[in-house]
């Protein structure tokens, strides 16, 4: 993996983690 691809993968992982956490946090705040 070159530097550019590594950064893209890291961003995708971060985004996926964020999307996965979003419904959980939203459920917590609405309660």
CA distance 18 to 2: 24
The pLDDT assigned to 23 comes to 73
Residue ranges of the domains in the chain?
1-31
The pLDDT assigned to 31 comes to 58
Q: Exposed, middle or buried: residue 4 (CB in 10 Å: 0-12, 13-18, 19+)?
A: exposed
The pLDDT assigned to 30 comes to 60
User: pLDDT over 70 for what percent of the chain?
Assistant: 77
The pTM assigned to this predicted structure is 0.55
Of 2, 22, 23, residue with least CA distance to 10: 2
């Amino acid at each position: 993996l070159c530097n550019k691809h590594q950064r893209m993968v890291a961003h995708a992982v971060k985004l996926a983690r964020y999307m996965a956490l979003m419904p959980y946090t939203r459920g917590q705040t609405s309660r």
